[in-house]
């Protein structure tokens, strides 16, 4: 992908805002690259569309090219989709004994992952774990798990010949309860392909133990197949998370993206080898970097953006010191507040601002109000923002209507702008402003 995009991006070197054409050209290549990384076609298509909407019209940060900017946007979006909700690597295993059901196709890495996860839960989380193999079909499958158990020092359910998968599951539950285990893990049998008998058996096991976590173990190198398997298992059994194995291989990990996009289920862990300690918490950033293969550009853009923000703050401060504080300034302050967790956070950082903070609290400045205030400013024209003195009754009405708020709200906002302007001016004289702004950055 690097070389491919590199070529395109060399051609996109104008500065300013990202044009339709910039974005389209870059994304055409991104799409091909995603497909090459084994991302499924519809997922790649949706992804590119989402990025296109986000990227077009975005300002290009000084000192980087539009192409580099697009890479950063693509990377952020990838990471966003890969992350989803919840913490990767966390499992719901309270209420002992908590059943964890391991499902997937044969050869995907279920048994290996069962061992790895049992080891991790034992060593890292201090849990008492019992493992049981429900694979009554493959010769010596149950023994395979028993051997792993001995290796890693985790108990396995004694093997009883002739039992069904459901019978083994029930016995595991009983043993886990009696033996005071925190967790019991059920390693189910797989098939080479999904079939009705397999699904029915897993359903029966699920109903017998009501698992806290149902983890789908899939080979991360199988790309599209992995996604189909995930859809199928999620539809029939209902999974709570995914473990992608063989991520130590040279695949680009595109399956991770498709998997997230199609099932919406979190990827919890990745298998990084055959050894029992080769299980890692899923890290969206790393996988996004791998799918895209352009980590250095992403870092460069982040650095450039930081520098620009600092420069902007410096420029703003100079204006404040001169007593210039218009609606554009107020808007960026409000946005900054949103980022930093509201008014209190900011005022708390400014010396001697206790009284002002109380006043603001009295005015009810919280996140919702910040949003409303920003909406009010957005309904103003450019000229009005630069010069709020223009705002007479009819303009006020128009703005209030445009943002769905009352004129009284707008008046409050105007008062705030005046107050803050005065405050900034005063602080500027004493050199306090500089100090305060430093604290905010």
Q: How would you class 150 by CB atoms within 10 Å of its CB: exposed for 0-12, middle for 13-18, buried for 19 or more?
A: exposed
Near Mg ion by CB under 5 A: residue from 25, 65, 69, 111: 111
Near ligand GDP by CB under 6 A: residue from 240, 245, 258, 333: 245
Tell whether 101 is in a known binding site: no
When CB distances are held under 5 to 8 angstroms depending on the partner's kind, the choice from ligand GDP, Mg ion, none that residue 274 binds is ligand GDP
Near ligand GDP by CB under 6 A: residue from 40, 65, 69, 112: 112
Tell whether 247 is in a known binding site: yes
Residues 67-106 that bind ligand GDP (CB under 6 A): 104, 106
Residue identified by tokens 């979190």 is: 266
Tell whether 169 is in a known binding site: no
* Strand order, beta sheet including 98-103: 155-156, 129-133, 183-187, 98-103, 213-219, 241-245, 267-271, 279-281
Largest Cα–Cα distance of the chain, in whole Å? Answer: 88
Site size for ligand GDP (CB under 6 A): 18
Give the residue nearest to Mg ion (CB): 111
Residue identified by tokens 């797989």 is: 190
When CB distances are held under 5 to 8 angstroms depending on the partner's kind, the choice from Mg ion, ligand GDP, none that residue 246 binds is ligand GDP
Given a contact cutoff of 8 angstroms between Cβ atoms, the answer to whether 310 and 441 are in contact is: yes
Q: How far is CA 307 from CA 63, 75, 176, 304, in A?
A: 10, 20, 57, 5
**Taking CB under 6 A as the rule, which mask of x and - marks residues 272-291 in contact with ligand GDP?**
xxx---x-------------
Sequence-distant (≥ 6) Cβ neighbours of residue 66 within 8 angstroms: 9, 12, 13, 14, 15, 18, 19, 22, 26, 60
How far apart are the C-alpha atoms of 138 and 159, rounded to whole Å?
A: 14
Q: Should residue 248 be labelled a site residue for ligand GDP when binding is judged by CB under 6 A?
A: yes
Q: Should residue 107 be labelled a site residue for ligand GDP when binding is judged by CB under 6 A?
A: yes
Q: Is 111 or 373 the residue whose CB approaches Mg ion more closely?
A: 111
Tell whether 271 is in a known binding site: no
Q: How far is CA 253 from CA 232, 247, 287, in A?
A: 20, 7, 7
Tell whether 149 is in a known binding site: no
What residues are designated binding site for GTP? Answer: 104-111, 187-191, 245-248
Residues that bind Mg ion (CB under 5 A): 110-111
What residues are designated binding site? Answer: 104-111, 187-191, 245-248
Residues that bind ligand GDP (CB under 6 A): 104, 106-112, 190, 217, 245-246, 248, 271-274, 278
């Amino acid at each position: 992908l690097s070389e491919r995009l590199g070529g395109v991006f060399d051609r996109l070197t104008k500065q300013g805002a990202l044009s339709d054409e910039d974005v389209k050209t870059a994304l055409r290549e991104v799409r091909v690259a995603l497909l090459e990384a084994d991302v499924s076609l519809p997922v790649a298509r949706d992804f590119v569309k989402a990025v296109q909407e986000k990227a077009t019209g975005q300002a290009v940060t000084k000192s980087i090219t539009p192409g580099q900017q697009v890479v950063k946007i693509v990377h952020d979006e990838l990471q966003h989709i890969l992350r989803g909700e919840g913490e990767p690597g966390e499992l719901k295993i309270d209420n002992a004994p908590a059943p964890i059901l391991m499902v997937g196709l044969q050869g995907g890495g279920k048994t290996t992952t069962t061992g790895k996860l049992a080891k991790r839960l034992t060593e890292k989380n201090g849990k008492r774990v019992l493992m049981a193999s429900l694979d009554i079909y493959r010769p010596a499958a149950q023994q395979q798990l028993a051997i792993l158990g001995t290796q890693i020092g985790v108990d396995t359910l004694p093997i009883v010949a002739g039992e069904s998968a459901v019978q083994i599951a029930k016995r595991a539950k009983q043993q886990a309860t009696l033996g005071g285990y925190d967790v019991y893990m059920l390693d189910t049998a797989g098939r080479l392909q999904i079939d009705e008998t397999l699904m029915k058996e897993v359903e029966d096991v699920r109903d017998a133990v009501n698992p806290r976590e149902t983890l789908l173990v899939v080979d991360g190198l199988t790309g599209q197949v992995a996604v189909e398997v995930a859809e199928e298992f999620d539809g029939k059994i209902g999974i709570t998370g995914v473990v992608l194995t063989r991520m130590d291989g040279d695949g680009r990990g595109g399956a991770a993206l498709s998997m997230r996009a199609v099932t919406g289920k979190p990827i919890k862990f990745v298998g990084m080898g055959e050894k029992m300690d080769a299980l890692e918490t899923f890290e969206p950033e790393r996988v996004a970097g791998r799918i895209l293969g352009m980590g250095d550009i992403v870092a460069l853009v982040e650095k450039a953006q930081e520098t620009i923000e600092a420069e902007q703050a410096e420029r703003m401060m100079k204006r404040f010191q001169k007593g210039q504080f218009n609606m554009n300034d107020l808007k960026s302050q409000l946005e900054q507040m949103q980022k930093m967790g509201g008014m209190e956070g900011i005022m708390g950082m400014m010396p001697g601002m206790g009284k002002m903070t109380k006043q603001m609290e009295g005015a009810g400045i919280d996140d919702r109000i910040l949003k409303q205030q920003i909406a009010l400013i957005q309904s103003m024209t450019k000229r009005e923002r630069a010069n709020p003195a223009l705002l007479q009754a009819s303009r006020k009405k128009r703005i209030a209507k445009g943002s769905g708020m009352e004129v009284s709200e707008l008046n409050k906002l105007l008062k705030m702008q005046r107050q803050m302007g005065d405050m900034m001016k005063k602080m500027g004289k004493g050199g306090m402003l500089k100090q305060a702004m430093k604290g905010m950055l």
